[in-house]
Amino acid sequence: MARQPVVAGRAEQLLGSAVVATAPVAGGDICTAVKLRLSSGRTALLKTLTGAPPHFFEREAAGLRWLAEAQDAGGVPVPEVLAVDGDCLILSWVETGRPGPEAAGGLGRALAVTHSAGAASYGSDADGYVGRLPLPNRPLGTWAEFWAERRIAPYLKVLRDKQIMSAEEAGAVEAAAARTAEIVPDEPPSRLHGDLWNGNVLWTNDNRAVLIDPAAYGGHREVDLAMLALFGLPQLPQVMAAYEEVAPLAEGWEERLAFHQLFPLLVHACLFGGAYGARAARLAQRYL
Protein backbone atom coordinates (compact mmCIF):
# COMPACT_ATOMS: atom_id res chain seq x y z
CA MET A 1 0.00 0.00 0.00
CA ALA A 2 1.26 3.46 -0.95
CA ARG A 3 0.03 6.69 0.63
CA GLN A 4 -2.18 9.22 -1.16
CA PRO A 5 -1.47 12.47 0.72
CA VAL A 6 -4.80 14.20 0.03
CA VAL A 7 -6.92 11.19 0.97
CA ALA A 8 -4.75 10.39 3.96
CA GLY A 9 -4.86 13.98 5.17
CA ARG A 10 -8.66 14.13 5.01
CA ALA A 11 -8.97 10.88 6.96
CA GLU A 12 -6.50 12.12 9.56
CA GLN A 13 -8.56 15.28 10.07
CA LEU A 14 -11.63 13.23 10.88
CA LEU A 15 -10.03 10.39 12.81
CA GLY A 16 -7.35 12.24 14.73
CA SER A 17 -5.05 9.35 13.88
CA ALA A 18 -2.20 9.03 11.41
CA VAL A 19 -2.79 7.17 8.15
CA VAL A 20 0.22 5.05 7.23
CA ALA A 21 -0.93 3.82 3.82
CA THR A 22 -3.85 3.92 1.38
CA ALA A 23 -5.03 1.73 -1.49
CA PRO A 24 -7.97 2.04 -3.91
CA VAL A 25 -10.79 -0.47 -3.53
CA ALA A 26 -12.62 -1.69 -6.63
CA GLY A 27 -16.27 -2.63 -6.94
CA GLY A 28 -18.33 0.34 -5.75
CA ASP A 29 -21.10 1.46 -8.13
CA ILE A 30 -21.57 4.94 -6.63
CA CYS A 31 -18.75 5.95 -4.30
CA THR A 32 -14.99 5.94 -4.59
CA ALA A 33 -13.55 3.71 -1.88
CA VAL A 34 -10.07 3.72 -0.35
CA LYS A 35 -8.57 1.28 2.15
CA LEU A 36 -6.73 2.98 4.99
CA ARG A 37 -4.06 1.51 7.23
CA LEU A 38 -3.85 3.50 10.45
CA SER A 39 -0.86 3.98 12.73
CA SER A 40 -2.77 2.07 15.42
CA GLY A 41 -2.63 -1.02 13.22
CA ARG A 42 -6.33 -0.82 12.45
CA THR A 43 -7.69 -0.92 8.89
CA ALA A 44 -10.57 1.25 7.71
CA LEU A 45 -12.56 2.10 4.59
CA LEU A 46 -13.07 5.67 3.38
CA LYS A 47 -15.96 6.35 0.98
CA THR A 48 -16.24 9.58 -1.00
CA LEU A 49 -18.58 10.87 -3.70
CA THR A 50 -17.96 13.98 -5.75
CA GLY A 51 -21.01 16.23 -5.55
CA ALA A 52 -22.70 14.03 -2.98
CA PRO A 53 -26.36 14.98 -2.37
CA PRO A 54 -27.12 16.75 0.92
CA HIS A 55 -26.62 14.54 3.99
CA PHE A 56 -25.84 11.55 1.78
CA PHE A 57 -23.16 10.09 4.04
CA GLU A 58 -24.82 11.25 7.25
CA ARG A 59 -27.93 9.25 6.41
CA GLU A 60 -25.90 6.13 5.68
CA ALA A 61 -24.05 6.54 8.97
CA ALA A 62 -27.31 6.97 10.87
CA GLY A 63 -28.69 3.81 9.29
CA LEU A 64 -25.60 1.80 10.21
CA ARG A 65 -25.74 3.00 13.80
CA TRP A 66 -29.44 2.18 14.05
CA LEU A 67 -28.92 -1.33 12.72
CA ALA A 68 -25.92 -1.77 15.04
CA GLU A 69 -28.17 -1.28 18.06
CA ALA A 70 -29.44 -4.84 17.52
CA GLN A 71 -25.99 -6.46 17.41
CA ASP A 72 -25.64 -7.12 21.13
CA ALA A 73 -28.84 -9.16 21.03
CA GLY A 74 -27.54 -11.22 18.10
CA GLY A 75 -28.56 -8.98 15.22
CA VAL A 76 -26.72 -8.95 11.93
CA PRO A 77 -23.31 -7.22 12.07
CA VAL A 78 -22.62 -3.94 10.25
CA PRO A 79 -19.39 -1.95 9.94
CA GLU A 80 -18.62 0.49 12.74
CA VAL A 81 -18.90 4.16 11.83
CA LEU A 82 -15.53 5.73 12.65
CA ALA A 83 -16.19 9.20 11.21
CA VAL A 84 -18.61 10.97 8.90
CA ASP A 85 -18.87 14.36 7.22
CA GLY A 86 -20.66 15.83 4.24
CA ASP A 87 -18.02 14.62 1.78
CA CYS A 88 -17.08 11.21 3.14
CA LEU A 89 -17.68 8.31 5.49
CA ILE A 90 -15.07 6.20 7.28
CA LEU A 91 -15.97 2.69 8.41
CA SER A 92 -14.23 -0.24 10.02
CA TRP A 93 -12.76 -2.56 7.42
CA VAL A 94 -14.56 -5.85 6.67
CA GLU A 95 -12.24 -8.65 5.57
CA THR A 96 -14.14 -10.87 3.17
CA GLY A 97 -13.53 -14.51 2.42
CA ARG A 98 -15.12 -17.88 1.86
CA PRO A 99 -17.89 -18.58 4.36
CA GLY A 100 -18.53 -22.06 5.69
CA PRO A 101 -21.84 -23.88 5.18
CA GLU A 102 -23.27 -22.56 8.45
CA ALA A 103 -22.85 -18.90 7.44
CA ALA A 104 -26.19 -18.74 5.60
CA GLY A 105 -28.03 -19.98 8.66
CA GLY A 106 -26.24 -17.42 10.79
CA LEU A 107 -27.38 -14.64 8.47
CA GLY A 108 -30.98 -15.80 8.60
CA ARG A 109 -31.08 -15.94 12.39
CA ALA A 110 -29.26 -12.63 12.81
CA LEU A 111 -31.47 -10.83 10.29
CA ALA A 112 -34.55 -12.06 12.16
CA VAL A 113 -33.17 -10.55 15.36
CA THR A 114 -32.46 -7.21 13.66
CA HIS A 115 -35.96 -7.08 12.20
CA SER A 116 -37.44 -7.94 15.59
CA ALA A 117 -35.67 -4.94 17.15
CA GLY A 118 -38.48 -2.95 15.56
CA ALA A 119 -39.00 0.70 14.72
CA ALA A 120 -41.06 3.54 16.12
CA SER A 121 -43.12 3.88 12.94
CA TYR A 122 -43.38 2.97 9.29
CA GLY A 123 -40.69 5.28 7.95
CA SER A 124 -37.96 7.27 9.63
CA ASP A 125 -37.29 10.63 11.20
CA ALA A 126 -35.44 11.76 8.06
CA ASP A 127 -35.53 11.09 4.33
CA GLY A 128 -32.64 9.09 2.96
CA TYR A 129 -31.26 7.66 -0.28
CA VAL A 130 -31.48 4.40 -2.16
CA GLY A 131 -28.47 4.42 -4.43
CA ARG A 132 -28.32 8.09 -5.43
CA LEU A 133 -32.09 8.48 -5.56
CA PRO A 134 -34.00 10.26 -2.79
CA LEU A 135 -35.85 7.91 -0.44
CA PRO A 136 -38.95 9.52 1.12
CA ASN A 137 -39.33 8.32 4.73
CA ARG A 138 -41.91 10.60 6.35
CA PRO A 139 -43.91 8.25 8.60
CA LEU A 140 -47.45 7.10 7.85
CA GLY A 141 -49.83 5.21 10.07
CA THR A 142 -50.09 1.91 8.17
CA TRP A 143 -47.81 -0.16 6.01
CA ALA A 144 -50.34 -0.05 3.18
CA GLU A 145 -50.24 3.76 3.14
CA PHE A 146 -46.47 3.90 3.44
CA TRP A 147 -45.85 1.33 0.71
CA ALA A 148 -48.18 3.02 -1.79
CA GLU A 149 -47.27 6.65 -1.03
CA ARG A 150 -43.57 6.48 -0.11
CA ARG A 151 -42.23 3.45 -1.96
CA ILE A 152 -44.33 3.20 -5.13
CA ALA A 153 -45.81 6.60 -6.04
CA PRO A 154 -42.59 8.72 -6.08
CA TYR A 155 -40.77 6.40 -8.48
CA LEU A 156 -43.80 5.82 -10.68
CA LYS A 157 -44.05 9.59 -11.10
CA VAL A 158 -40.43 9.77 -12.30
CA LEU A 159 -40.98 6.89 -14.71
CA ARG A 160 -44.17 8.39 -16.08
CA ASP A 161 -42.70 11.87 -16.44
CA LYS A 162 -39.68 10.47 -18.30
CA GLN A 163 -41.90 8.11 -20.34
CA ILE A 164 -39.82 5.14 -19.21
CA MET A 165 -42.99 3.21 -18.35
CA SER A 166 -46.18 3.26 -20.41
CA ALA A 167 -49.43 4.44 -18.88
CA GLU A 168 -50.66 0.84 -18.89
CA GLU A 169 -47.55 -0.48 -17.11
CA ALA A 170 -47.59 2.27 -14.50
CA GLY A 171 -51.32 1.80 -13.98
CA ALA A 172 -50.84 -1.91 -13.21
CA VAL A 173 -48.26 -1.17 -10.52
CA GLU A 174 -50.38 1.60 -9.05
CA ALA A 175 -53.45 -0.64 -8.94
CA ALA A 176 -51.51 -3.43 -7.22
CA ALA A 177 -50.12 -0.99 -4.63
CA ALA A 178 -53.67 0.19 -3.89
CA ARG A 179 -54.45 -3.38 -2.75
CA THR A 180 -51.58 -3.59 -0.23
CA ALA A 181 -53.89 -3.83 2.77
CA GLU A 182 -55.61 -6.85 1.21
CA ILE A 183 -52.40 -8.58 0.13
CA VAL A 184 -49.95 -8.05 2.99
CA PRO A 185 -50.72 -9.20 6.56
CA ASP A 186 -50.53 -6.43 9.13
CA GLU A 187 -47.39 -6.47 11.30
CA PRO A 188 -45.64 -3.92 13.53
CA PRO A 189 -42.79 -2.07 11.77
CA SER A 190 -39.51 -3.96 11.61
CA ARG A 191 -35.98 -2.56 11.58
CA LEU A 192 -35.10 -2.83 7.89
CA HIS A 193 -31.79 -2.61 6.08
CA GLY A 194 -33.82 -1.24 3.17
CA ASP A 195 -31.46 -2.03 0.26
CA LEU A 196 -30.71 -5.67 0.94
CA TRP A 197 -29.57 -7.03 -2.39
CA ASN A 198 -26.82 -9.64 -2.44
CA GLY A 199 -24.12 -7.06 -3.23
CA ASN A 200 -24.68 -5.50 0.18
CA VAL A 201 -24.00 -8.80 1.97
CA LEU A 202 -20.31 -9.40 2.70
CA TRP A 203 -19.29 -12.92 3.71
CA THR A 204 -16.32 -13.34 6.03
CA ASN A 205 -13.92 -16.18 6.81
CA ASP A 206 -15.29 -16.50 10.33
CA ASN A 207 -18.71 -17.59 9.03
CA ARG A 208 -20.51 -14.27 9.38
CA ALA A 209 -22.41 -12.07 7.01
CA VAL A 210 -21.88 -8.32 7.42
CA LEU A 211 -24.40 -5.91 5.87
CA ILE A 212 -23.26 -2.67 4.21
CA ASP A 213 -24.80 0.34 2.43
CA PRO A 214 -28.20 0.48 4.16
CA ALA A 215 -31.19 2.62 3.30
CA ALA A 216 -32.65 1.90 6.73
CA TYR A 217 -36.20 2.66 7.90
CA GLY A 218 -39.11 1.04 9.70
CA GLY A 219 -41.14 -1.17 7.41
CA HIS A 220 -42.51 -4.62 6.64
CA ARG A 221 -39.82 -7.27 7.03
CA GLU A 222 -40.84 -9.07 3.85
CA VAL A 223 -39.30 -6.16 1.90
CA ASP A 224 -35.75 -7.08 2.93
CA LEU A 225 -36.40 -10.76 2.24
CA ALA A 226 -37.94 -10.01 -1.15
CA MET A 227 -34.88 -8.03 -2.19
CA LEU A 228 -32.55 -10.88 -1.18
CA ALA A 229 -34.61 -13.16 -3.43
CA LEU A 230 -34.83 -10.70 -6.33
CA PHE A 231 -31.10 -10.54 -7.01
CA GLY A 232 -30.18 -14.10 -6.11
CA LEU A 233 -28.45 -14.36 -2.74
CA PRO A 234 -26.46 -17.62 -2.60
CA GLN A 235 -27.89 -20.23 -0.22
CA LEU A 236 -31.14 -18.29 0.14
CA PRO A 237 -33.19 -21.39 1.13
CA GLN A 238 -30.86 -21.96 4.10
CA VAL A 239 -31.12 -18.28 5.05
CA MET A 240 -34.91 -18.39 4.98
CA ALA A 241 -35.16 -21.63 6.92
CA ALA A 242 -32.97 -20.22 9.69
CA TYR A 243 -34.89 -16.93 9.68
CA GLU A 244 -38.15 -18.75 10.26
CA GLU A 245 -36.66 -20.67 13.19
CA VAL A 246 -36.35 -17.33 15.01
CA ALA A 247 -39.23 -15.29 13.58
CA PRO A 248 -41.79 -17.30 11.58
CA LEU A 249 -43.36 -15.46 8.66
CA ALA A 250 -47.08 -15.18 8.00
CA GLU A 251 -48.56 -17.87 5.77
CA GLY A 252 -48.17 -17.20 2.06
CA TRP A 253 -45.00 -15.12 2.30
CA GLU A 254 -43.50 -16.85 -0.74
CA GLU A 255 -46.40 -15.60 -2.88
CA ARG A 256 -45.89 -12.06 -1.59
CA LEU A 257 -42.18 -11.81 -2.43
CA ALA A 258 -42.92 -10.54 -5.93
CA PHE A 259 -45.27 -7.90 -4.53
CA HIS A 260 -42.53 -6.48 -2.33
CA GLN A 261 -40.10 -6.58 -5.25
CA LEU A 262 -42.06 -3.84 -7.02
CA PHE A 263 -40.19 -1.08 -5.17
CA PRO A 264 -36.62 -2.18 -6.01
CA LEU A 265 -37.65 -2.83 -9.60
CA LEU A 266 -39.02 0.70 -9.92
CA VAL A 267 -35.82 2.09 -8.41
CA HIS A 268 -33.79 0.12 -10.95
CA ALA A 269 -36.01 1.37 -13.75
CA CYS A 270 -35.30 4.96 -12.66
CA LEU A 271 -31.57 4.25 -12.61
CA PHE A 272 -31.07 1.84 -15.51
CA GLY A 273 -34.07 1.97 -17.83
CA GLY A 274 -37.38 0.54 -18.87
CA ALA A 275 -36.74 -3.21 -18.79
CA TYR A 276 -37.05 -3.13 -15.02
CA GLY A 277 -40.26 -1.13 -15.27
CA ALA A 278 -41.79 -3.67 -17.62
CA ARG A 279 -40.79 -6.44 -15.24
CA ALA A 280 -42.46 -4.59 -12.35
CA ALA A 281 -45.65 -4.27 -14.39
CA ARG A 282 -45.68 -8.01 -15.15
CA LEU A 283 -45.29 -8.83 -11.46
CA ALA A 284 -48.01 -6.35 -10.51
CA GLN A 285 -50.48 -8.14 -12.77
CA ARG A 286 -50.34 -11.16 -10.44
CA TYR A 287 -52.02 -9.13 -7.70
CA LEU A 288 -54.86 -7.55 -9.68
Catalytic residues: 195
Dihedral sign for Cα atoms in the order 104, 128, 132, 278? positive
Q: At what angle do helices 153-161 and 262-272 cross, to 10 degrees?
A: 30
How far apart (Å, rounded) are the C-alpha atoms in residues 60 and 90? 11
Q: Element (H or E) spanning 45, and its range?
A: strand 43-48
Which of 53, 13, 57 has the alpha carbon at shortest distance from 33? 57
Mark out the alpha helices in 69-213 (DSSP H runs). Answer: 103-116, 143-146, 153-161, 167-177, 180-183
Q: Count CB neighbours of 71 within 10 A.
A: 16
Q: Element (H or E) spanning 219, and its range?
A: strand 217-219
> Are β-strands 88-92 and 81-85 bridged in parallel, bridged antiparallel, or unpaired?
antiparallel
